């Protein structure tokens, strides 16, 4: 049988992000300016030097940051073929509360080239060239990347614009170097070319990723699944793991132990372990856990408990010494937990107000909060509220499974991001958000991510090594 070689150009960027040890060789990464005159890299607005960036115009400083991030990646990679990145700044989706920082993905992909690790499999253009040992795309850019030119404006996460310094001292601003390391990672190969939303493979062939994605519910790899099975796997929370040996070996050096969970003891029909989102405020969850009886109450005409105002004396009597079940919505989560604490509750379970799994964490800060709190899905929370009103009551414990790595399954295999519902541009092509400490290739930008792509700080480069780098 003759297997034909395939080269494909990809028109659109992929893999959105919503806010080093030396290798044996250094790879040249070339930034190709795709901005028009007076915008993006060509913006002539005068600026002062900042954090080691000596550029004198806004455009020059932006380009300096891109070159700096490209050098960081170049020192890790070992390709003899220069990597060309077509890059520019454009207004991207954003509002006062959230923003798309940037997007990146391959412009070219290749399969069945000499040296390809697997036949009939798509590889990102930069990786294909590295494995081939020559440029199969005639000097064309193999990665395209665009970044939000509006970030920090009044209608686009005001005050959180890109920090253009090279020293990492970004304060309240968004560190552009970290964002670039993330997005360049997508272009280098940290993204799946199979459409997780439809389950369809590009051109009927798997990408390199499909061979390393294992659904632990079915024990099948994506490369062996049907389109229907892949579509279901992409929304199977915390059941899709990476099977690459480099990531699995390095994970214990990077990830801490302790996976948050809620365990129900009574009633028996609900007994078991449930997903839990942790809070940035209040006491941290522990392995020994925190137990108590959960109770529900109402402070709204529709029967909901929002706890956005001081809790009435009647409801406070119900909460005294108990764990309060509180609905999300109406005010921020810190206010809800603080009001429950003042009313005498010893803990809080926040129930989401929209479908979706797993439950996100809870952001905010208040040093006066002394009770623990977690967040659960709407589906689980509604069951808990009914059980709390029954004669048997609801006895729960929430804490950490300390025998398990935060971001890996019980066998130490690192989990990929598969929320339900599917998130275009984020699902499957990122590490799961439960990873602790936070990893560079999670779908959301976090301040505590270090400027590293390798162990012991990160798992990005080990994953790229798994697929052939």
φ, ψ for residue 357, nearest 5 deg:
-150, 145
Per-residue pLDDT at 448: 76
Token readout for 241 is 């793991």
Is 100's pLDDT higher than 70? Answer: yes
Ranking 11-15, 197-201, 295-299 by mean pLDDT, the lowest is: 11-15
Per-residue pLDDT at 446: 80
Q: How far is CA 276 from the centre of its chain?
A: 17
Asked if residue 241 lies in contact with residue 249, where contact means CB atoms within 8 angstroms, the answer is no
Nearest alpha-carbon partner for 332 in 290, 384, 280, 261: 280
Instruction: Give the chain's length.
Output: 469
Per-residue pLDDT at 21: 32
Per-residue pLDDT at 151: 95
Token readout for 396 is 């729960």
Number of other CB atoms surrounding residue 388 within 10 Å: 23
- pLDDT digits over 298-326, tens only? 999 999 999 999 999 999 999 999 999 99
- pLDDT digits over 152-205, tens only? 999 999 988 999 999 999 999 999 999 999 999 999 999 999 999 999 999 999
Per-residue pLDDT at 93: 92
Asked if residue 403 lies in contact with residue 396, where contact means CB atoms within 8 angstroms, the answer is no
Q: Name the pLDDT band for 6 (thresholds 50, 70, 90).
A: very low
Nearest alpha-carbon partner for 296 in 399, 398, 381: 381
Per-residue pLDDT at 399: 97
Is 416's pLDDT higher than 80? Answer: yes
Domain regions of the chain by residue span = 1-191, 216-256+406-469, 257-402
For the segment 424-430, the average pLDDT, to the nearest whole number, is: 96
Cβ burial of 97 (10 Å; 0-12, 13-18, 19+) is exposed
- pLDDT digits over 200-221, tens only? 999 999 999 999 999 999 999 9
Q: Could you give the angle at which helices 176-188 and 125-132 cross, rounded to 10 degrees?
A: 60
Per-residue pLDDT at 97: 85
Per-residue pLDDT at 20: 33
Per-residue pLDDT at 98: 87
Q: How far is CA 130 from the centre of its chain?
A: 27
The architecture of the domain spanning 257-402 is 3-Layer(bba) Sandwich (3.50)
For the segment 93-99, the average pLDDT, to the nearest whole number, is: 90
- pLDDT digits over 355-400, tens only? 999 999 999 999 999 999 999 999 999 999 999 999 889 999 999 9
- pLDDT digits over 222-278, tens only? 999 999 999 999 999 999 999 999 999 999 999 999 999 999 999 999 999 999 999
Return mean pLDDT, the chain.
93
- pLDDT digits over 21-79, tens only? 333 458 999 999 999 999 999 999 999 999 999 999 999 999 999 999 999 999 999 99
Question: For the whole model, what pTM was predicted?
Answer: 0.91
Per-residue pLDDT at 14: 42
State the Cα–Cα distance between residues 347 and 262, nearest whole angstrom: 12
């Amino acid at each position: 049988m003759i297997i034909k070689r395939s080269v494909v150009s990809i028109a659109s960027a992929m893999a959105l992000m919503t806010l080093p040890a030396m290798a044996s060789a250094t790879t040249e990464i070339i930034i190709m300016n795709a901005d028009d005159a007076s915008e993006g890299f060509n913006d002539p607005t005068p600026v002062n030097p900042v954090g080691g960036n000596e550029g004198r115009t806004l455009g020059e400083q932006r380009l300096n940051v891109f070159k700096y991030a490209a050098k960081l990646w170049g020192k890790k990679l070992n390709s003899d073929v220069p990597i060309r990145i077509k890059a520019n700044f454009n207004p991207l989706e954003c509002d006062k509360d959230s923003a798309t920082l940037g997007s990146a993905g391959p412009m070219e992909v290749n399969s069945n080239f000499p040296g390809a690790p697997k036949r009939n499999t798509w590889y990102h253009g930069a990786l294909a060239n590295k494995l081939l040992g020559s440029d199969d795309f005639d000097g064309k850019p193999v990665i395209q990347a665009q970044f939000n030119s509006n970030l920090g404006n009044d209608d686009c996460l005001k005050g959180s614009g890109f920090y253009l310094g090279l020293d990492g001292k970004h304060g309240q601003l968004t560190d552009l170097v970290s964002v670039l390391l993330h997005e360049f990672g997508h272009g280098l190969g940290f993204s799946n070319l199979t459409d997780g939303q439809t389950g369809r493979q590009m051109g009927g062939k798997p990408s390199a990723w499909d061979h390393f994605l294992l659904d632990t519910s079915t024990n099948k790899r994506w490369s062996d699944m049907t389109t229907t099975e892949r579509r279901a796997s992409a929304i199977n929370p915390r059941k899709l793991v990476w099977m690459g040996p480099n990531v699995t070996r390095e994970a214990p050096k990077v990830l801490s132990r302790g996976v948050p969970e809620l365990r129900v003891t009574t009633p028996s029909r609900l007994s078991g372990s449930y997903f839990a989102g942790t809070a940035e405020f209040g006491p941290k969850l522990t392995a020994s856990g925190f137990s108590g009886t959960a109770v529900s109450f109402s402070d709204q005409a529709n029967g909901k408990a929002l706890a956005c105002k001081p809790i009435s004396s009647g409801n406070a009597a119900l909460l005294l010494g108990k764990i309060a079940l509180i609905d999300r919505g109406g005010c921020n989560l810190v206010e809800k937990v603080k009001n429950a604490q003042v009313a005498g509750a010893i803990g809080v379970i926040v129930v989401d107000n929209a479908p979706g799994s797993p439950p996100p964490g809870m952001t905010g800060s208040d040093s006066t909060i002394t009770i623990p709190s977690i967040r659960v899905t709407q589906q689980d929370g509604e069951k808990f509220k009914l059980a709390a009103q029954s004669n048997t009551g609801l006895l729960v414990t929430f804490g950490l499974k300390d025998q398990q790595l935060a971001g890996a399954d019980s066998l130490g295999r690192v989990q990929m991001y598969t929320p339900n519902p599917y998130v275009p541009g984020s699902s499957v092509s990122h590490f799961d958000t439960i990873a602790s400490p936070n990893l560079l290739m999670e779908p959301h930008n976090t301040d505590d991510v270090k400027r590293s792509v390798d162990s012991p700080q990160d798992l990005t480069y080990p994953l790229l090594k798994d697929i052939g780098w």
